[in-house]
A = this chain, B = another copy of it.
Amino acid sequence: MTDSSATDPGGWHTYLVTQESVSAGRSTLEVVDAALEGGVDVIQLREKDASARCRYELGLELRERTAAAGVPLIVNDRVDLALAIEADGVHVGQSDLPVGVARDLLGPDAIVGCSASTVADAKRAEADGADYLGVGAVYATSSKDVDPDESGVGPARIASVVDAVSIPVIGIGGITAENASPVVEAGAAGVAVISEITAADDPKAASERLATAVHR
């Protein structure tokens, strides 16, 4: 577990979700090293296409690197993997294990985040004990499991969710340094990205650019 205020989702301005398949031929370790140098506030081990064994082995490496950087590590979906690599928490979607089950298995000090695309989902996740919400897809995106024809829920949905809940909201989906500002202006604590960092020519510079856009 990562000590210190780094584990407060309210302070997560830039949130990297890993996905080696959209990392321009680089390894996730290489991308994460660059993103940590570039100052991202939190890393989520996703890697939806990888086996549990691969994610476990990668997770052990990510745990070392994030711990050394004082940056929290969150595991997508799998609570057992989060326990096994001593991650700081888990991020669950609407079709993953329920928030309350994740909380029971991880204990009161772990971070449990939940994806929500509607105000109703967001309120339920908060009531179930989520520590933060990932809300989106804000903009159209190709790198998550979102219908590419859909245009995204937009910054207006971020504002609606922020009005409806008391826990921090992270915008996700199609966010870049160029379009991040309206997400933060709508009340998001920060923004989560995959390809804006993983597929960038220079992931470190992309991380810095994103942080600048969020803080602007």
Contacts and interface: CB of A to CB of B under 8 A. Distances in A.
Given A80-B78, A83-B105, A105-B84, A97 B54 contact: no
Interface in A68-82: 77-81
B81 A97 contact: yes
A156 interface: no
A53 B95 contact: yes
Interface of A: 51-54, 56, 77-81, 83-84, 94-98, 101-102, 104-105
Nearest to A81: B97
B77 A52 contact: yes
A177 B79 CA distance: 38
Given A80-B78, A80-B79, A80-B105, A56 B98 contact: yes
Contacts of A56: 97-98, 101
Contacts of A97: 52-53, 56, 80-81, 84
A75 to B, nearest CB: 10
14 contacts: A52-B77, A52-B95, A52-B97, A53-B94, A53-B95, A56-B101, A78-B78, A80-B80, A80-B102, A83-B105, A84-B97, A84-B101, A84-B104, A84-B105
A54 B94 CA distance: 11
Contact of A52 (B52, B84, B96): B96
Given A52-B77, A56-B98, A80-B97, 14 more contacts: A51-B96, A53-B94, A53-B98, A54-B95, A56-B101, A78-B78, A78-B80, A79-B80, A80-B102, A81-B97, A84-B97, A84-B101, A84-B104, A84-B105
